[in-house]
Structure 1
């Protein structure tokens, strides 16, 4: 951060604790025939996360910081209550005591350097969330479709729809803070109270290379900030986070056949074909999204396969559509070593990990 005239400051924290009983009351009405988003839960979780973020920002203001780096938004369960927690690190400009925050960012010190050097001016930490349930109707329909081999369209629709809702909401957060893009997006699926929450977090920013139309529909990207720097160095800007989701069933007949084949060594052709078809379907969704936004390419594609039990799998593909833009480049010709070095944990409590989830996994709040 010193290379950008900044110094790291204090760790800053904001929290908001809610009763689990309140969530239980809302959750009791989830088993609807339609399934999909549970809007009242989405709203409550949004407000809890927002309250924690605002308290963190108020704390940092008292210390004359110009910004906060490494901002996170978390859910922590404490017996009968749920805590919304935001943690970050104050950033100070050398020789300057700010009277208000200029930015908040999900990026740590190294990532923030890459953002600034590639022309992305950070504005505000942004998140988009959606709480959803498969629903009784989707569950019944999916169960019957699960008797036959192929895509379970009821489940695919719910999963695809909720993921795109999260993107739309993180774009709305960016617009509210005068940004034309959201970079460094990270996506998490969090199970709680008989449903799931999908939350996307990133940094809303402005880049001079975007067309004015992006003020109304900000660009989105899940490239790391180092990858974003590399693309900008080549003259490309990210324009849309693209994703595709497919839910497939091996079918009752295929499941029986696969079970017998698994008793002997060799390929289980039914599973091979199932995963291949699910992958192709998900990648086709990505290609459609990229074509719709006029992208030149899709980079950073990552694929995930999850077993949902009973011979049903979810295949998710996610990447970032990019476009060549004249005049786009980086401030520096190369990244300094500090921008690509990564911290490593030097204390590991294996006993704690064996007892349950390690709540400290991957948490590094230093401003670099």
Structure 2
């Protein structure tokens, strides 16, 4: 019988270079309700701000059940692993569906332990060629709120211009808790690295949830008693490894700034005339510098040589507040670090193109058929 796989032609080619063939698409899901008691507890914690443990645990449990079912289905197929695992969270009828989808891969030699990966098979090729052995798709999450208390203090401080440290602290703590949890999950699987970390923030039941996903892996050139973390793409990781570099830690820094009441009035007046709004220019510059300074300080504290792939994001939260976030991976040179091949194949670099195009009416595959009668 024909196999139905989610792997693209480029991914199948990359897996073949590493001795794997494509297998069936596998799915795992779990439809959950938080329940009446959990909602009451979450509401109480929501007043205080920070993490809401009941919501964090409810989402974590739902993901774990769905993921376990997907992995079990793959093992029932006799797969050596599952590549390109993607997770989703869908709300319907007052409940939440947790969904995981991936594609089985089979080792031609039949050797090696069963594994799952968060990245696609192109990234998996890059990880393997850089000497990393995949172990498990891992995730760490946190549900959080700034709370009524934090909002009150922050509202008072919005009358003045500058950073609102209470908000900055909440955002920084939540992001680092998610990182700590994905690191702990990798450590529990016997890994010494989490690669290709991707971060998503979504609203959920009146709160916000931040989830980090990545691939727990092992590398013989890294310490066995420490887990390094990285958000570098597979291609970036391969390139850095070819230069002798290994990741140390994913670094994150957030600053929440307010323009302030006086600055807001001035900038509002100036917006009627052409030219620079100096108050906004200065505010965004200060927020950016503050976040980057924190990033540099953390890199120095762990002895990093460089912070690479730094990305910056600026978001208008509302009510005169902006969030500026900087994120990057600290790296250092490691003796013996390198790649198995000198050149990366084009199939590991080329991004696949979508062939299914959505439209307002549901779908639009090809326009040529509509024009045949013209």
Question: Which TM-score applies when normalising by structure 2?
Answer: 0.90
What is the SS of the residue equivalent to 2:46? coil
Aligned position for 1:72: 86
Size of the alignment, in residue pairs? Answer: 348
DSSP 3-state at the match of 1:265: coil
Structure 2 counterparts to residues 103-118 of structure 1, below 5 A? 103-118=115-130
Given candidates 322, 325, 328, the residue that maps to 1:316 is: 325
- How far apart, CA to CA, are the structure 2 residues paired with 1:303 and 1:78? 34
> Any idea what the Cα deviations from partners look like across 1:239-275, whole Å, max 9, x if unmatched?
0000100000000110111111111111111111100
Secondary structure of 1:307's partner? strand
Q: 1:25 Cα deviation (Å)? A: 4.0
Note if contact 1:179-1:206 (Cα within 8 Å) is conserved in structure 2: yes
Given that residues 15 and 56 in structure 1 are in contact (C-alpha distance below 8 angstroms), is that contact kept between their aligned partners in structure 2?
A: yes
Give the alignment's Cα RMSD to 1 decimal. Answer: 1.6
Q: Find the residue that maps to 1:138 and give its secondary structure.
A: helix
| Structure 2 equivalent of residue 60 of structure 1 | 74
1:28 maps to which residue? 43
Task: Quote the Cα distance in structure 1 between the aligned partners of 2:206 and 2:265.
Answer: 30
Residue of structure 2 equivalent to 1:278: 287
When Rg is computed on C-alpha atoms for both structures, the one with the higher figure is: 2
1:236 matched to 2:245: yes
Q: Is residue 31–residue 135 contact of structure 1 (8 Å, CA) maintained in 2?
A: yes
Structure 1 residues 16 and 36, CA, compared in 2 at 3 Å: closer, same or farther?
same
User: 1:29, CA displacement in angstroms?
Assistant: 2.4
Are the equivalent residues in 2 in contact too, given 1:27–1:194 (CA < 8 A)?
no
Q: Secondary structure at the match of 1:114?
A: helix
Cα deviation digits, residues 65-90 of structure 1 (max 9, x gap): 00001112221001211001111111
Query: CA separation of 1:36/1:339 partners in 2, compared to 1, >3 Å: closer, same or farther?
Result: same
Superposed CA deviations along residues 175-207 of structure 1, whole A, max 9, x for unmatched, are 111000100000000111111001000000001
Equivalent position of 2:184 in the other structure: 172
C-alpha distance in structure 2 between counterparts of 1:352 and 1:181, whole Å:
44
**Residues 1:294 and 2:303 are matched in the alignment:** yes
Aligned to 1:326: 335
8 Å Cα contact 2:19-2:109 kept in structure 1: no
1:40-70 C-alpha deviation (Å, 9 max, x unpaired): 2111111110110000011001111000011
Question: In 2, are the aligned partners of 1:69 and 1:107 still within 8 Å (CA)?
Answer: yes
User: TM-score, with normalisation over the residues of structure 1?
Assistant: 0.91
Q: Tell me, which stretches of 5 or more residues in structure 1 are unaligned?
A: 354-368
Looking at structure 2, the residues matched to 174 and 321 of structure 1 have their Cα atoms a distance apart, in angstroms, of: 19
Does 1:152 pair with 2:164? Answer: yes
Q: Name the structure, 1 or 2, with higher relative contact order (CA <8 Å, separation 6+).
A: 1
Could you tell me how far apart the structure 2 residues matched to 1:339 and 1:327 are? Answer: 23
Distance in 2 separating the partners of 1:129 and 1:79: 24
Partner of 2:22: 8
For residue 44 of structure 2, give the secondary structure of its aligned residue in structure 1.
coil
Change (3 A) 1:352 1:188: farther
Stretch deviating more after TM superposition (17-26 or 281-290): 17-26
Give the alignment of 1:213-228 within 5 angstroms.
Answer: 213-214=225-226, 218-228=227-237
Q: Are 1:256 and 2:271 counterparts?
A: no
For the Cα contact (< 8 Å) 1:231–1:237, is it kept in 2? Answer: yes
